[in-house]
Amino acid sequence: MSETAASTWLTQEAYDRLKAELDDLIANRPVIAAEINARREEGDLKENGGYHAARDEQGKQEARIRQLQELLNEAQVGVRPESDGTVEPGTVVTVAYDGDEDDQETFLLGSREEGAHGSLQVYSPQSPLGAAILGATVGESREYELPNGSTQKVSILKCEPFDA
């Protein structure tokens, strides 16, 4: 499932980093094409491991290019959420897990691309926990389904805009 403009939030730093990665991948396209052509000239394509490896690498790069283009085209860049205590993409949320109020977790609700280079755990708004708490306010409790089929209840303790 791709993230939509309403849920993909990026800091300017993350946007710039991802844009640079996209530009590098696009600039590298001729290098991969030349590698494929060089390997193709080596002979029988059925038994040409270098050719197949180069084609696989090209496929991975093209997939990443498409992913980055979609993400960057839909992203809300640097638009910080209002500080009204409502959980939304771009907020840092602290939750307490039901049954153990000492079991608290603080994380950024946003794109995994946003938190790739930081120490803060990141949950996607489409993740079970992210989807459950989206729109919740401080003091509210929500439930979500765990992978094993049971449910987990969390309470929103704190919610504030992410400050990169």
Q: Can you give the pLDDT at residue 157? A: 93
pLDDT in tens, 1-38: 333 435 477 778 778 888 999 999 999 999 989 988 88
pLDDT at 41 over 90: no
**Contact by Cβ (8 Å): 40, 54:** no
Q: Can you give the pLDDT at residue 80? A: 62
| Residue ranges of domains in the chain, CATH in brackets | 9-77 (1.10.287.180), 91-161 (3.10.50.30)
Helix H or strand E segment including 97 = strand 91-97
**Residues 6 or more apart from 111 whose CB is under 8 A from it?**
3, 8, 9, 10, 14, 71, 75, 89, 122, 124
Identify which of 89-93, 111-115, 120-124, 126-130 has the greatest average pLDDT: 126-130
Q: Can you give the pLDDT at residue 1? A: 37
Report how far residue 63's alpha carbon sits from residue 19's, in angstroms, rounded to the nearest whole number.
15
